[in-house]
Amino acid sequence: MSRRKRASVKRSALLGAIVASAVLAGCKEPQQAADSKLANTFVRAGQDVTILEVRTYGTSDNVAQSNDEYYVIRFKWTNSLGFAVYPKLDHFVIEDSDKRRFLGVTSGASALIGISNYAGTLARGESHEYTVGFRVPVATQGTLFYDASF
């Protein structure tokens, strides 16, 4: 094999290796976002809440002048109330900066189909994951927490 042909083969091999490494570098698995760096920053975690995932859905009820959407939030809640509690899902609340409160729901909309949650009692200090929907005005920003006062 001539010197010129060997050099051409080496360049082709080097170019192939560079292209392959560039392709493989672009195929990395996405890193899980930390709680404070969620792509959706509409909802902040309140006391004893760790937000795992936030999804938004339209209401699909076609009500005239309706400007609502559903936030379906998967989160972990730790019971620090000082006593065992059977968490009621409508006691999970998003409160916005105007002190408007949006209570959790798990039925009544197509976005909520298939949601199931832990239905037992949580002792003090125990944690569990929940998925709860909230019907809110579009682009509502607020804090998610558990309200045992009602």
Rounded percentage of the chain residues whose pLDDT exceeds 90: 58
| pTM of structure | 0.70
Domain match, 39 and 106 both: yes
Other C-beta atoms closer than 10 Å to the C-beta of 14 total: 10
DSSP secondary structure code for residue 139 in this structure? T
Domain match, 20 and 52 both: no
Range of the domain at 2: 1-30
Mean pLDDT of 9-29: 48
Nearest to 111 by CA among 68, 141, 82, 149: 68
| Domains identified in the chain, total number | 2
pLDDT, position 39: 38
Domain match, 110 and 133 both: yes
Domain match, 111 and 134 both: yes
CA distance 81 to 34: 25
Domain match, 56 and 1 both: no
